Structure 1
Amino acid sequence: MITGEIRNKIDKIWTDMWAGGITNPLTVIEQLTYLMFIRSLDEKELEMESVEALSGEEMPKIFPQDKAGQDMRWSKFKTKDSRAIYDIVGSKVFPFIKAMNGKNTSAFSRYMQDAMFLIPTPQVLQKIITGLDELYEHDIKDLDMQGDVYEYMLGKLSTAGQNGQFRTPKQIRDMMVRLLDPAPDNKVCDPACGTAGFLVSIAEYIREKYETEMTPEQWEHFGGAMFTGFDTDRTMLRISAMNLMLHSITQPRIEYVDSVSKQNSISSAYDIILANPPFTGTIDTESINDNLKAVCSSKKTELLFVALFLRMLRKGGRCSCIVPDGVLFGTTRAHKALRKELVENHQLQTVISMPSGVFKPYAGVSTAILVFTKTGAGGTDKVWFYDMRADGYSLDDKRTPIEDNDIPDIIARFHNPEGEADRKPTEQSFFVEKSAIVANDYDLSINRYKEIVYEKVVYDAPAVIMDRLDKLNLDIAAKMEELRGLIGE
């Protein structure tokens, strides 16, 4: 749990970097990520030295054993003069970690080749190292806390305009994970992973639910093969690999892949897909994978990604993804073709309409969550709709915590479909028969099926209202006369 004191310490580090001239929040996160990685290498080396001292067996080393190599360790340079620290980190440690690909097995090290050391002055670097060290020495007690601290740092991207596109609010991610209820043997993927938030939420859920009963084989699977993420931004890949590493996942498949292009031919590979794909923009028609065009001939990324999820899931695999409302009711041939594919050839289970403020302050777009299972043989007989009105936070730019929260109700009702059978379209959640959806041209907008109950208001007859007005006018005239009398006195 991140306390106010820990938040203040992180905010202080952030302010020091901001004052030093690093004003892009993504750059702040990236530079902090490098330093946290450098510190983690020294921690791992200290652990191996401890094991070596106890067992007498020689353990593999990360740093060269000569003086220059040992000087690169966090525990050795952190107390030096600021100029010495800056020289060591900038000219020795940073080139060392950039060259670690192939020598180090973490996914993070694979994306270091084009990393840049951008901390401007020795004084700023010393403040950051002191601040991080204080956090680790006094506040970060375990891996969970380390992950929470990094999550809090990543949360600052949400307040940074365009960079916020990489962040789905944690409460929404956690809800989507609980809807799918992943298991330790599943293979999971986010083909537009950003900072790996969905993969981290799955990891947290697996540990919370299954930690005491997982086999050694399942733990090995959890450490790497279980998780796959793709992105087209190498900065995001570095951050997501670090985020997963801080949650005990050292060998995920985190790769630079344009997921909807011909570069990605993965098919029928995953049990679970969770994603918030790009909403805006189109891509070059020539680069789009042909089998996606077969589902919906479009250049719109939000349509192509849903078609991609269907291709990448194995039969019986499940997906929970966020789409802009336009996907639900768009009238183009591609929009209709995609919705028809979901309803007719697979099992579309749920459409959760979310309020437009969920992605504020950086976007006010209305969105929905689709939950479906790949079958290849139909299976949609009715679809459950839910009109989410609150997610536990205000829907303005500040997004402050509030009591109203539909998320627990959504999760409970989703896992108890029998209890939803008799609910009417006038209520917050209800089922819609497939035949009604087909009759409406596969429109999946909740407003198409929701019924609004209008209360009849009975007014008095006009003559009665006129009499009442006459009486009021007489009362006003009498009061005016009384007032004139008081003034005359």
Structure 2
Amino acid sequence: MTNGKNGKTFTTQQGLNSYIKNICDIMRRSNCAGALQYVPELSWILFLKILDDTEQREAEEAEAVGDRFDDSIAEPYRWRDWAAPQGTQRLKLQMGEMGKFIPFVNDEVIPYLKGLKDKPRATPRQKIISEVMSNVERVRIDSEANLLDILDKVHEIDYIDTTHIFPISQVYEGLLLKMGEKNNDGGQFFTPREIVRAMIKIINPKVGEKIYDPACGTGGFLAQSYEYIRDNLGDDITPEQLEPLKLNTFYGREKENLIYPIALANLVLHGIDLPHLWHGNTLNGEVTYGDLFKDAPPLFDIILTNPPFGGKEHKTVQAQFDYKTSATQVLFLQHVIKSLAPGGRCGIVLDEGVLFRTNEKAFVQTKRKLLNDCNLYCIISLPAGTFKAAGGGVKANILFFSKGEPTEKIWYYDLSDISVTKRKPLNLSDFEEFFKLFPSREESDKSWTITREEIEAKNFDLKAVNPNAQSFEDKSTPKELLDLIESKGKEVAGALSVLRKWE
């Protein structure tokens, strides 16, 4: 099925990936040189295309049962009007004076879409459209020919055989990862998907639970939670089960102007019709746009998050917290504890410094609060290079806890001995033994348990120190070490001698 549009049908992953890469290549040579330029541009273009397909399908379904359907976007600002190859507005512009297409998009389409949220009785979908467009001031593509080429290629993505390949949403996630490559700032907004999937598997979210990420970045935890719940329901999923998933399950906050609209686009591309995302600073409460979040519950059943590492907050922000510190991640941990409902579950990524630091009062107080109010039942020590592919190199850990009962003991699992690089990232298969041992909290060469008494004796130092790890001790004598140095020196001298002959 191709919706009658004669678009391309994709049946292989390689074909779809290659096609999307080709679109990005056009963007790269059209004033969008890096991922931080072309990913946001492709985000709103893809979003408008998928939205138009969705609304055309919904209109057909409404007509079939005799219901009325109102488009969120009026003529001539719908994708089918100005972006589709046979769109009436596009044909009108192309038959007129040359060079009118980009000004129409810049001066009419974009301002109209950004203003939808201000319409009287604006719908949630219209508000989402405006927010996806909130960071778009103009088309970045440098020529009309290149823009039309990109629009035509995006328009052709009509059908993807998801029994054999990933849907467009997961291909899009691959583009988001590129925002964290080559030390782009985008890395701070992207958690490696294998980490996300491992955390979701342990937390095991279900239909009816409210899921929250207070530092949602591009929306990975929320998007993957949706896919996890939907996939677990299987082929027998009913409209009654699917509707709350799409409309009343996922909540998040994001501060960065560049990333917030990308998160909205990402969640909609995954199938979440109403992502309740709040645009603003989670820690100080300053809101840029909060209408999509206004019906959020005060507490959440599940929190999945990877708050930013290493940030510093002003004293005015610290004043809003029980334990004052400039360390952003510690303030986020306090926010998470406070936002979790009784009986709620949390998976959170924290840098190692939060775990081992005992020289600052707020660090100790926050960890004591965590252990008093919550059952911190598991800590995974991640490899040092886990976040390299996403632009970060900080050693981190995953903490799992539930609210309502104090911590009596913590089960640790050590993955730190795995070598991780940009070309060899951490995979879900690396968690295989962890998943096997986790239900019974078995001890092994990589897992162990410590008690509350041991934790308090170390002044709440929670760092993972594997008691079973084998340490290497070099027992060479001073003479043996000197002989080794001399031998290596001779090898170097010999190599230099050969090289000098070629001078």
TM-score, length of structure 2 as denominator length: 0.79
Partner of 1:301: 328
Q: Post-superposition shift, 1:62?
A: 3.8
Asked if the contact 1:184–1:214 (Cα under 8 Å) also holds between the matched residues in 2, the reply is no
RMSD of aligned Cα (Å): 3.4
Task: Give 2:137's match in structure 1, choosing from 113, 116, 123.
Answer: 116
Q: Residue 450 of structure 2 aligns with which residue?
A: 432
Correspondence for 1:408: 432
* Correspondence 1:33 to 2:53: no
* Superposition pairs of residues 82-481 of structure 1, within 5 angstroms: 83=99, 85-101=101-117, 102=119, 103-106=122-125, 108-111=128-131, 112-117=133-138, 118-134=140-156, 136-137=157-158, 139=160, 145-160=167-182, 161-212=184-235, 216-263=239-286, 269-288=299-318, 290=320, 292=321, 294=322, 296-330=323-357, 331-361=359-389, 362-375=391-404, 377-378=405-406, 380-389=407-416, 395-396=420-421, 398-400=422-424, 405-417=429-441, 420=442, 423=443, 427-447=445-465, 450-453=467-470
Deviation by residue 1:291-330 (Cα, 9 ceiling, x = unmatched): x2x2x22111010001110000011111111111001111
Greater Cα radius of gyration, structure 1 or 2: 1
Partner of 1:475: none
Query: Counterparts of 1:452 and 1:357 in 2: how far apart (Å)?
Result: 19
Q: C-alpha separation between the residues in 1 aligned to 2:398 and 2:427?
A: 22
- Mean Cα displacement is larger for which, 30-39 or 73-82? 73-82
Residues 271 and 53 (structure 1), Cα distance of their counterparts in 2 relative to 1, 3 Å cut:
closer
Q: Which runs of 5+ in 1 are unaligned?
A: 460-464, 466-489
The change in CA–CA distance for 1:458 and 1:328 in structure 2 (over 3 A counts) is: closer
CA contact under 8 A between 2:195 and 2:428: conserved in structure 1?
no
1:89 CA displacement: 2.9
Range with greater deviation from structure 2 (277-286 or 164-173): 277-286
What is the alpha-carbon distance in structure 2 between the residues aligned to residue 94 and residue 339 of structure 1? Answer: 47
Q: Which amino acid aligns with 2:413?
A: Y
Alignment of 1:45-64 (within 5 A): 45-51=55-61, 54-55=64-65, 57-64=67-74
Within 1, Cα distance between the matches of 2:38 and 2:472? 54
1:477 alignment partner in structure 2: none
Q: What's the secondary structure of 2:334's corresponding residue?
A: helix
Separation of aligned partners in 1, 2:308 and 2:198 = 20
Matched, 1:42 2:52: yes
- Aligned CA distance change for structure 1 residues 227 and 57 (closer, same or farther; 3 Å): closer
Superposed CA deviations along residues 157-199 of structure 1, whole A, max 9, x for unmatched, are: 1214221111000000000111111111110100000100010
TM-score calculated relative to the size of structure 1: 0.82
Separation of aligned partners in 2, 1:176 and 1:329:
22
- The one-letter code sitting in structure 1 at the alignment partner of 2:309 is F
Look up the equivalent residue of 1:50 and give its one-letter code: E
Quick check: 1:262–1:288 contact (8 Å CA) kept in 2? no
- Take 2:115 and 2:472, find their aligned partners in 1: how far apart are those partners? 71
Letter of the structure 2 residue corresponding to residue 412 of structure 1 = K
1:137 is paired with a residue whose SS is strand
Identical pairs, percent: 26
Runs of 5+ unmatched residues, structure 2: 1-10, 288-293, 481-503
- 1:445-473: CA deviations, max 9, x gaps? 112x52444699999xxxxx9xxxxxxxx
Query: 1:435 deviation in Å?
Result: 1.4
What letter corresponds to residue 116 of structure 1 in structure 2? E
Alpha-carbon distance in structure 1 between the residues aligned to 2:26 and 2:241: 42
CA contact (8 A) 1:267 1:313 kept: no
Matches of 2:143 and 2:472, distance apart in 1: 67
Amino acid at match of 1:193: C
